[in-house]
Amino acid sequence: MARAIILMADSLGIGAAPDADKFGDVGANTFAHLLKAYSDETGSPLSLPNLSLLGLVDACEAAGNEPCLVSDRQTPIAAWGYAKELSSGKDTPSGHWEMAGVPVLFDWGYFPDTQPCFPQEFIDELIARTGIPGILGNCHASGTTILEQLGEEHVKTGKPICYTSADSVFQIAAHEQTFGLEKLYQVCEITRALLDEMNIGRVIARPFLGSTNQDFARTGNRRDYSVLPPAPTLLDKLAEDGGEVISIGKIADIYAHQGITQKHKAPGLQNLLEKTSEVMASAPDHSLIFTNLVDFDEKFGHRRNPVGYAKALKEFDDYLPTILKQLKPDDVLIITADHGCDPTFPGTEHTREYVPVLAYRAGLENTPLGERASFADIGQTLAQWFNLPALDYGDGFINKLTAPIVKGNE
């Protein structure tokens, strides 16, 4: 019986998607551009031997038609390709759900980029139901910038900071101590229920600590309150079939806790990777170990910090041999992304990009998968891998993964 490990490198796009013009994202390329920024700043290209062995560099060059400035480039020993997105949005739930066989083909509700941006009736209802003394923000914002602007006022008045972005989100930032973490979570739950009718994808709790506008910092206690995926995903189907679906990081939140049999949280990239390795050591057959690596997006993509992003990718690359060594013959490792977030692009939003589709199994040769019409090709392949009924979306590529060359039998 088989296992699968998915490492979702949140926001690691590899070139503008064919419909990037509809999103104002023509020319975006998260991976190629962060490599260039790193090389420009340090004077030498980033060394990513393990990600390049898994096909990331080849996939990016094939998808984006731009050179990837890396040193120690290797010929892939994996199946690699690049996928475009069927879903209407470039947000995190859409990317994750589509990968698991459920593209989001309807339009989410969005808040307009005006000030105020939230309907007054909804805010009145929110205040009435939660007892908060009012809200601050009420605009589109970057989550770290708005803390510098309104953090002190929040602490003084007890009014939570509410803001949104080009995604279908309502974010609530509040101080963990002066406002209280549990109270923030309660306010988010009430808000979630109020926003269902506006079709808002997520409410996000953004707790922070610190005492002045200069030192407020968000903590690891973020919590996402997602609507339910519109149909059962690969995760539900595997769990129903008796498999283990093990969430590491914010996966469980993104799938609204549907089809998850175990959850682990860990703060930061290194801890998430270590937790993945620890879980791999004991997960039984018929397990999906699914990790979201959020730092790429939250700490570097949205913060428009390409060199920080590059260093985080190096940390990921350095850790990969530990994961690869733990793979059993019937394990498949998938590395992919949910959207782009080009840290060299104007603004602070996600970018509509191709995502990498990298699949590694011991013994594979260099196996190009070409352009994939949907992220769902991954979910469909995993449905095949786990012997589940076919998903409604996706073109599986299990035929590319089934004949590994066993060492010694070449």
Ligand X SMILES: O=P(O)(O)O[C@H]1O[C@H](CO)[C@@H](O)[C@H]1O
Q: Which residues bind ligand X (CB under 6 A)?
A: 92, 142-143, 165, 167, 169, 171, 204, 298, 302, 348
Any residues with CB less than 8 A from the CB of 320 and at least 6 apart, and which?
50, 51, 54
Q: How many Å apart are CA 343 and CA 385, to the nearest integer? A: 35
Find the shortest distance in angstroms from Cβ 91 to Mn ion.
7
Closer CB to ligand X, 191 or 348, in the complex = 348
Detail the DSSP E strand segments found in 265-321: 287-293
Closer CB to Mn ion, 60 or 341, in the complex = 341
When CB distances to ligand X are compared, the closest residue is 143
When CB distances to Mn ion are compared, the closest residue is 92
Cα within 13 Å of Cα(397), Cβ side: 26
Find the shortest distance in angstroms from Cβ 313 to ligand X.
19
- Residue 66, contacted partner among Mn ion, ligand X, none, CB below 5-8 A by kind: none
Binding site residues, Mn ion, CB under 5 A: 10, 92, 297, 338
Any residues with CB less than 8 A from the CB of 115 and at least 6 apart, and which?
138, 139
End-to-end CA distance of the chain: 24
- Ligand-binding annotation for 113, yes or no, is no
Find the shortest distance in angstroms from Cβ 42 to Mn ion.
26
Any residues with CB less than 8 A from the CB of 153 and at least 6 apart, and which?
136, 159
Find the shortest distance in angstroms from Cβ 140 to ligand X.
8
Closer CB to ligand X, 165 or 191, in the complex = 165
Find the shortest distance in angstroms from Cβ 165 to ligand X.
3
Give the Å distances, CA to CA, from 14 to 62, 161, 341: 9, 33, 10
- Residue 171, contacted partner among Mn ion, ligand X, none, CB below 5-8 A by kind: ligand X
By CB atoms closer than 10 A (0-12, 13-18, 19+), residue 193 is exposed
Cβ atoms of residues 294 and 281 within 8 Å: no
Q: Bridge-partner residues for 247, per DSSP?
A: 263, 290
- Ligand-binding annotation for 297, yes or no, is yes
Closer CB to Mn ion, 69 or 293, in the complex = 293
- Residue 271, contacted partner among ligand X, Mn ion, none, CB below 5-8 A by kind: none
Find the shortest distance in angstroms from Cβ 71 to Mn ion.
28
Closer CB to ligand X, 90 or 237, in the complex = 90
- Residue 10, contacted partner among ligand X, Mn ion, none, CB below 5-8 A by kind: Mn ion
- Ligand-binding annotation for 10, yes or no, is yes
- Residue 338, contacted partner among Mn ion, ligand X, none, CB below 5-8 A by kind: Mn ion
- Ligand-binding annotation for 286, yes or no, is no
Q: Which sign does the torsion angle of CA 388, 390, 393, 395 carry?
A: positive
Any residues with CB less than 8 A from the CB of 138 and at least 6 apart, and which?
115, 116, 117, 118, 123, 162, 163
Instruction: Label residue 134 left, alpha or beta by phi (over 0 means left) and psi (-120 to 50 means alpha).
Output: left
Closer CB to Mn ion, 179 or 354, in the complex = 354
Give the Å distances, CA to CA, from 183 to 132, 188, 239: 10, 9, 32
- Residue 155, contacted partner among ligand X, Mn ion, none, CB below 5-8 A by kind: none
Cβ atoms of residues 162 and 150 within 8 Å: no
- Residue 169, contacted partner among ligand X, Mn ion, none, CB below 5-8 A by kind: ligand X
Closer CB to ligand X, 147 or 383, in the complex = 147
Q: How many Å apart are CA 286 and CA 233, to the nearest integer? A: 16
Q: Which residues are annotated as a binding site for Mn(2+)?
A: 10, 297, 302, 338-339, 350
Q: Which residues are annotated as a binding site?
A: 10, 297, 302, 338-339, 350
